[in-house]
């Protein structure tokens, strides 16, 4: 299947991302690290620049014209996020600085209020550290128990013992899509079983929202965290969506301005949702950029983005496997429809960092390391992997350059 058949013209899209036109040492940029952070299109860059040039003011406070405009820009971006993920209300969309802060917000606010010594939180072996460490910190603080959903050798969650793991559990924390394996996890099925057992579900959707149509109402999780910088938007802003009744019951995460209605010497009363969780000056320009990115992605159509990536992932798996055979091991599900465009691999006995360094000499951008998932690396039996990750602006030519550059790395390390 060629990319053109699924509705996205990757070559035309590349032209809208200025950094992708950069050459280094005469070589074009082949950017294959979007699981780390995505590139930004002109429309997003222009929206941020326009905000600073024409609107820059603080929100929710000033009575002058540009202050009103800034407030409208921030809250307009919130409305775009709500629509993009089909949230029932904008009051359920909380802005944070990234997904990590969103996940910590749940742990420190909901967790500290609702969990006691001996209560259980269920994690999975493929979680990012941001969905592990906050719960380990809470275990140290109040003595909760952590249980782990294992994975199969193909990198899927092994749910055969899920009922036992859910017995008496209060919360299940699970990535919607693995940042290492690309595995798409059955969030709605897990949520159905978790709810039946009396547990809530927190989904880390950092790798999911940028790549697939997202409907939080059908996904089934009670909390959904994601970040903007992986979806063509700027760094410095993330999102926590949660059911309104949960947010209403949770104490504020940070204290200060904006999150209060009243402060006296005796105490304070919190602001309405979602501002209750947004202490201080929010990331206004970043929200404007996020809104522009959502407009950009919505115009493309997330179904088209997903179809493009499935086709390109299939091409990448086929190309690399046929060319390198047993010399390359690509982790995760073998069926492209069951995974995102994340290809973590080991190549011969070459250290992943050496592979990445050689690829960098060809201006091919990949990541090497443990990808903030050390427990998963231990399960896979490796210290690190090289990771090439795909997005809407990649095409088959990028995979071909990756393949050729990987062959050069193999030649360089052949003795």
> Which residues are part of the catalytic machinery?
372
Residues 158, 186: Cα–Cα separation, whole Å: 11
Residues 6+ apart with CB under 8 A from 299: none
Residue with tokens 């410095």: 236
Contact 67, 61 (CB under 8 A): yes
Nearest to 199 by CA among 274, 311, 128, 115: 115
Residues 44, 290: Cα–Cα separation, whole Å: 8
How much helix, strand and coil, in percent to the nearest 5, is found in the chain?
45, 20, 35
Residues 103, 126: Cα–Cα separation, whole Å: 16
Contact 167, 140 (CB under 8 A): no
Phi and psi at 414, nearest 5°, equal -95, 125
Residues 20, 391: Cα–Cα separation, whole Å: 12
Nearest to 330 by CA among 188, 155, 109: 155
Residues 345, 202: Cα–Cα separation, whole Å: 28
Output DSSP code: residue 364. E
Residues 262, 40: Cα–Cα separation, whole Å: 40
Residues 207, 126: Cα–Cα separation, whole Å: 13
Contact 93, 282 (CB under 8 A): no
Residues 358, 336: Cα–Cα separation, whole Å: 27
Residues 7, 30: Cα–Cα separation, whole Å: 22
């Amino acid at each position: 299947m060629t990319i053109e058949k699924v509705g996205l013209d990757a070559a035309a899209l590349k032209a809208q991302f200025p950094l992708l036109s950069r050459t280094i040492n005469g070589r074009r940029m082949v950017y294959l690290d979007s699981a780390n952070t995505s590139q930004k299109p002109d429309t997003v860059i222009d929206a941020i620049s326009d905000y600073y040039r024409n609107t820059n003011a603080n929100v929710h406070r000033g009575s002058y014209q540009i202050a009103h405009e800034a407030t409208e820009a921030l809250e307009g971006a919130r409305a775009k996020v709500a629509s993009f993920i089909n949230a029932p209300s904008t009051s359920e969309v909380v802005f944070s600085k990234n997904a990590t802060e969103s996940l910590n917000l749940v742990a420190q606010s909901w967790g500290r209020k609702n969990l006691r010594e001996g209560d259980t939180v269920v994690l999975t072996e493929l979680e990012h550290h941001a969905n592990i460490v906050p719960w380990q910190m809470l275990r140290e603080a109040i003595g909760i128990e952590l249980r782990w959903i294992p994975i199969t050798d193909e990198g899927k969650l092994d749910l055969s013992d899920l009922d036992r793991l859910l017995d008496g559990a209060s919360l299940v924390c699970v990535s919607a899509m693995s940042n290492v394996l690309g595995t798409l996890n059955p969030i709605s099925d897990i949520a159905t079983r978790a709810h039946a057992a009396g547990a809530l579900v927190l989904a880390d959707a950092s790798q999911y929202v940028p790549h697939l149509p997202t409907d939080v109402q059908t996904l089934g999780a009670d909390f959904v965290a994601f970040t903007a910088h992986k979806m063509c938007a700027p760094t410095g802003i993330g999102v926590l969506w949660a059911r309104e009744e949960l947010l209403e019951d949770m104490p504020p995460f940070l204290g200060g301005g904006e999150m209060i209605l009243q402060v006296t010497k005796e105490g304070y009363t919190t602001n309405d949702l979602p501002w209750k969780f947004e202490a201080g000056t929010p990331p206004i320009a970043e929200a404007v950029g996020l809104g522009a990115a959502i407009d950009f992605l919505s115009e493309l159509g997330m179904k088209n983005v997903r179809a493009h990536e499935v086709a390109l992932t299939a091409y990448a798996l086929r190309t690399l496997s046929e060319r390198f055979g047993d010399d390359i091991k690509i982790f995760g599900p073998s069926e492209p429809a069951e995974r995102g465009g994340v290809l973590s691999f080991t190549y011969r006995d070459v250290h992943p960092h050496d592979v990445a360094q050689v690829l960098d000499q060809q201006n091919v951008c990949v990541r090497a390391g443990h990808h903030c998932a050390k427990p998963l690396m231990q399960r896979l039996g490796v210290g690190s992997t090289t990771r090439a990750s795909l997005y809407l602006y990649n095409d088959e030519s990028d995979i071909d350059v990756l393949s050729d550059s990987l062959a050069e790395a193999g030649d360089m390390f052949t003795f």
